[in-house]
């Protein structure tokens, strides 16, 4: 058995997964939160052993505790303790490689990359484009390479899948010399998820990925949509940063840039104030005081004006992007919904697709409302466009790309 350890290191968290890459089975996963605070919650989940296609006869076992964890190096030691105490044994399932999620690869990194000192330096340099993400990703890399120093480490970049965007799609219409000097362009994010979902959708339909025009809506607390032509990203809604595009849990998405100038002049907001406003006090939270779509839907059911408006604004943006991207593709064959909202919020899916009959989209209300697990079709049999719900698995995709490189 060959195991790959997948690391997603945040500014104050460490998420990990141990995956048997030969069977593509998750062996264990964990989450360590509030690193650097007084008390850090630790959750370690062990999957029951399964041979081949056998059905598990036991439930996952999750072990929870709280400890003071000062930094990412201490978090990795805690992770090792969890494996030693609860399994599976890292001696018996010693990782053959470690795959790391890195949010921003700029224009330099267009594929999974073996990590060395120079790659670490470049990830650090790219922190100017992702100051909330890349430093945390790098901290995880440094800590992991110290612990697992005998195996290769691979960086898988959120932005890499979008390196196929044409210049017309990634170029902003501002002063060209200034944009080039400061690397201002569209990079796109959630690439690992968009790539995984589009490939899984093609497999599910028994179609060649190269023949399909697809839209993938990754709708979680962060949200983006990507137009994929023959397996290549050709349009995506997030831009220089993960702020542009769709309405999100706490992020505004698209906004007239002059509104920020206006708020600076009239409300006296500083650059940091505006950054906080757009990233943490906007989106659903800004409109309705709640960032979770489940709470918004409950508010809609209760007839709350703010929740109804937030839902309508959210759906209006989804429809606008769907129409624009269908036009860029010259039509669409498959539309997939993924991530927390995309997989679980049937009213969002129904409302987003309701006006796309002109493009050949017809949702089956019963299929859409069914609470089922796994990949499933929610379009009507007669719909020329297939609409799917596809659970994303970014960790498995990172493990696959890591395995391909080593």
pLDDT at 55 over 60: no
**Neighbouring-strand partners of residue 254:** none
Q: What is the mean pLDDT of residues 330-359?
A: 98
Residue 87, domain member (yes or no): yes
pLDDT at 134: 93
Separation in Å, CA 160 to CA 106, 140, 203: 8, 19, 22
Within-domain flag for 140: yes
In CATH, what number is assigned to the domain containing residue 90?
A: 3.30.420.40
State mean pLDDT over 53-77. Answer: 82
Q: What CA–CA distance (Å, rounded) separates 118 from 128?
A: 17
Q: What is the mean pLDDT of residues 260-282?
A: 96
Number of domains composing the chain: 2
Q: How do 95-102 and 113-114 pair as beta strands? A: unpaired
* pLDDT tens per residue, range 355-364: 999 999 999 9
Residue 158 is a catalytic residue:
yes
Q: Quote the CA–CA distance of 339 and 190 in Å, as a whole number.
A: 10
Q: What string of DSSP letters covers 12-44?
A: S-EEEEEEETTTTEEEEEEEE-STTSS-EEEEE
Q: Are 8 and 142 in a shared domain?
A: yes
Strands 61-67 and 232-236, sheet pairing? unpaired
| Phi, psi angles (nearest 5°) of residue 69 | -125, 115
Residues 120 and 215 grouped into a single domain: no
Q: What is the pTM of this model?
A: 0.92
* Alpha carbons 281 and 288: distance in angstroms, whole number: 10
Residues 24-40: tens digit of each pLDDT? 999 999 999 999 989 99
Domain boundary among 126, 157, 188: 157
What are the C-alpha distances in Å from 92 to residues 2, 6, 88, 138, 402? Answer: 10, 17, 8, 28, 20
Regarding whether 114 and 251 lie in a shared domain, the answer is no
Buried b (16+ CB within 10 A) or exposed e, 219-238: bbbbbbbbbbbebbbbbbbb
Q: How far apart are CA 196 and CA 189, in angstroms?
A: 13
115 and 248 both lie in a single domain: no
What is the extent of the structural domain holding 122? Answer: 3-157
Q: CA 352 to CA 389: how far, in whole Å? A: 13
Q: Which of 38, 53, 124, 158 is catalytic?
A: 158
The answer on 341 and 217 residing in a single domain is yes
Mean pLDDT of the chain, nearest integer = 95
Same domain, 222 and 141: no
Q: What is the mean pLDDT of residues 34-48?
A: 93
C-beta neighbour count of 373 within 10 angstroms: 8
Do residues 8 and 386 lie in contact, with contact meaning Cβ atoms separated by under 8 Å?
A: no
Shared domain check, 232 and 126: no
202 located within any domain = no
Question: Could you tell me if 241 and 127 are in contact, meaning their C-beta atoms sit under 8 angstroms apart?
Answer: no
Q: Which two tokens stand for residue 66?
A: 């709280």
- Residues tagged in the binding site annotation for ATP: 15, 218-222, 292-294, 340-344
With respect to residue 401, please indicate whether it lies within any of the assigned structural domains.
no
385 Cβ neighbours under 8 A, 6+ residues apart? 332, 333, 334, 335, 356, 359, 360, 361, 362, 379
Do 99 and 218 share a structural domain?
no
Asked if the structure places residue 404 within a domain, the reply is no
Do 144 and 248 share a domain, yes or no? no
| Same domain? 384 vs 237 | yes
Residues ≥6 apart with Cβ < 8 Å to 317: 245, 246, 247, 253, 254
The predicted-structure confidence for 125-136, as pLDDT tens digits, reads as follows 999 888 878 999
pLDDT score of 272: 95
Would you state the pLDDT for residue 52? 52
Name the residue among 205, 187, 190, 211 with its Cα closest to residue 392.
190
Residues 133 and 240 in one domain: no
Q: What is the β-pairing status of strands 153-157 and 334-338?
A: unpaired
Q: Which two tokens stand for residue 301?
A: 């059911």
Q: Supply the pLDDT for residue 99.
A: 98
Mean per-residue pLDDT for 308-328? 98
Q: Which residues are annotated binding-site positions for Mg(2+)?
A: 8, 394
Kindly report the number of other CB atoms within 10 A of residue 328's CB atom. 16
Q: Are the beta carbons of 230 and 212 closer than 8 angstroms?
A: yes
Can you tell me the distance from the alpha carbon of 372 to that of 255, in angstroms, rounded to the nearest whole number?
36
Does 240 share its domain with 320? Answer: yes
Domain limit, last residue, from 127, 157, 187: 157
Q: Please check whether residue 199 is in contact with residue 209, taking contact to mean a CB–CB distance below 8 angstroms.
A: yes
* Cα–Cα nearest to 71, from 136, 154, 148, 121: 136
**Token couple for 169:** 């799609």
pLDDT digits (tens, 9 = 90+) for 66-123: 999 999 999 999 999 999 999 999 989 999 999 999 999 999 999 999 999 999 999 9
Q: Which residues are annotated as a binding site?
A: 8, 15, 101, 218-222, 292-294, 340-344, 394
Confidence of residue 406 (pLDDT cuts 50, 70, 90): confident
In a domain, 237, yes or no: yes
Q: Name 97's bridge partners.
A: 4
- Measure the CA angle with vertex 195, ends 194 and 200; round to 5°: 100
């Amino acid at each position: 058995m060959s195991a790959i350890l997948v690391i997603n290191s945040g500014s104050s968290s460490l998420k990990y997964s141990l995956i048997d890459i030969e069977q593509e089975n998750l062996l264990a996963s964990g989450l360590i939160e509030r690193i650097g605070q007084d008390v850090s919650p630790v959750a370690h989940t062990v999957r029951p052993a399964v041979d081949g296609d056998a059905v598990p006869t036991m439930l996952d076992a999750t072990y929870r505790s709280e400890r003071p964890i000062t930094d990412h190096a201490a978090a990795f030691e805690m992770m090792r303790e969890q494996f030693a105490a609860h399994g599976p044994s890292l001696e018996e399932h010693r990782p053959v490689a470690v795959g790391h999620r890195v949010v921003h690869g700029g224009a330099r990194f267009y594929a999974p990359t073996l990590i060395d000192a120079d790659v670490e330096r470049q990830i650090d340099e790219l922190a100017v484009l992702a100051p909330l993400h890349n430093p945390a990703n790098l901290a995880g890399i440094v800590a992991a390479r110290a612990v697992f120093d005998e195996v290769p480490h691979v960086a898988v970049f959120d932005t890499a899948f979008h390196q196929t965007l044409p210049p017309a799609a990634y170029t902003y219409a501002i002063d060209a010399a200034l944009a080039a000097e400061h690397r201002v362009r569209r990079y796109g994010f959630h690439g690992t998820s968009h790539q995984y979902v589009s490939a899984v959708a093609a497999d599910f339909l028994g179609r060649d990925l190269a023949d399909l025009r697809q839209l993938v809506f990754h709708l979680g607390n962060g949200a983006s949509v990507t137009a994929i032509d023959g397996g290549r990203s050709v349009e995506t809604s997030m831009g220089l940063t993960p702020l542009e595009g769709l309405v999100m849990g706490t992020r505004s998405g698209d906004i007239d840039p002059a509104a920020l100038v206006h708020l600076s002049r009239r409300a006296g907001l500083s650059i940091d104030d505006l950054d906080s406003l757009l990233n943490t006090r906007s989106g659903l939270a800004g409109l309705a005081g709640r960032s979770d779509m489940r709470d918004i839907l409950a508010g809609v059911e209760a007839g709350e004006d703010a929740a109804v408006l937030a839902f309508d604004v959210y759906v209006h943006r989804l429809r606008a992007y769907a129409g624009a991207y269908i036009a860029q593709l010259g039509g669409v064959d498959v539309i997939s919904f993924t991530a927390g909202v995309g997989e679980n919020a049937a009213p969002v899916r129904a409302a987003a697709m309701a006006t796309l009959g002109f493009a050949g989209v017809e949702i089956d209300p019963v299929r859409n409302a069914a609470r089922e697990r796994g990949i499933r079709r929610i379009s009507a049999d007669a719909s020329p466009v297939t609409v799917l719900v596809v659970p994303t698995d970014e960790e498995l995709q990172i493990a696959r790309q890591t395995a391909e490189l080593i």
